[in-house]
Structure 1
């Protein structure tokens, strides 16, 4: 069963992630100083809930997580990506992209679609690269 997980960076610099769907027995949330910490917190809760359900004689659902990021949490999580270079590839002004990732400005749906297309292109190039 697919579970959509949304990451959001807070104004205080912390991060949270939560499950969009309602799945019986699972109401997953995660918190941390970084998206990595929030994800680890949520996955730990998932494993603990599964253990409790098994102890109760239940068969917990196996969830396949699909992660959704806002721009700030995306570039925080994938901190090895150069924001300006990704912006150029997406056809977004690098200065504007830095404002998006710092939380100074908010991107519209069109900008997110450009970014998603560029990220998928990068992922494809990486997947087909060989040494």
Structure 2
């Protein structure tokens, strides 16, 4: 089974899209929806339809395992509804003004900023995994 990355992006209209980032596959798949969950479900439905098409036409189908990943702007936009910009600032180390520009799509973060945000979010997630509640 081939491991394939699927990029989740927020569109200008506020909906989300999911698309394969692998040109080596003999097919392409996209999904969209009002939410990330809807976009992923639509994507998986398209995958199953593509699989059936290949079966119906006696073509070899590449079975895939998908790794869904946000681009930074879409991630920040999606989670800014759950976490405040102040909270995201404390977690990522990037000031609220910059984060606001990324969330709204007015600016795109540079490579170093993306790496900083990603690193700090992963460290935060790791800290959460180590927390136990009584």
With structure 1 as the length reference, what TM-score do the two structures score?
0.81
- Separation (CA, whole Å) in 1 of partners of 2:123 and 2:3: 24
Matched, 1:92 2:67: no
**SS across alignment from 2:131:** coil
Corresponding residue number in structure 2 for 1:108: 110
Cα deviation for residue 77 of structure 1 reads 4.2
Unaligned runs of 5+ in 2: none
Q: Note if contact 1:35-1:76 (Cα within 8 Å) is conserved in structure 2.
A: no
* Structure 1: gaps of 5 or more residues: none
Cα distance in structure 2, aligned partners of 1:54 and 1:128: 45
Higher mean Cα deviation, 119-128 or 55-64? 55-64
Moved over 6 A (4+): none
User: How many Å apart are 1:8 and its aligned residue?
Assistant: 1.9
CA RMSD of aligned residues (A): 2.3
Q: Report 1:40-119 matches (<5 A).
A: 40-56=41-57, 60-78=61-79, 79-119=81-121
TM-aligned CA deviation for residue 55 of structure 1: 4.7
**Equivalents in 1 of 2:128, 2:57: separation in Å?**
44
Specify the alignment match of 2:39 in structure 1.
Answer: 38
Deviation for aligned residue 1:130: 2.4
The alpha-carbon distance between structure 1 residues 89 and 40, as it changes in their structure 2 partners (threshold 3 A), is same
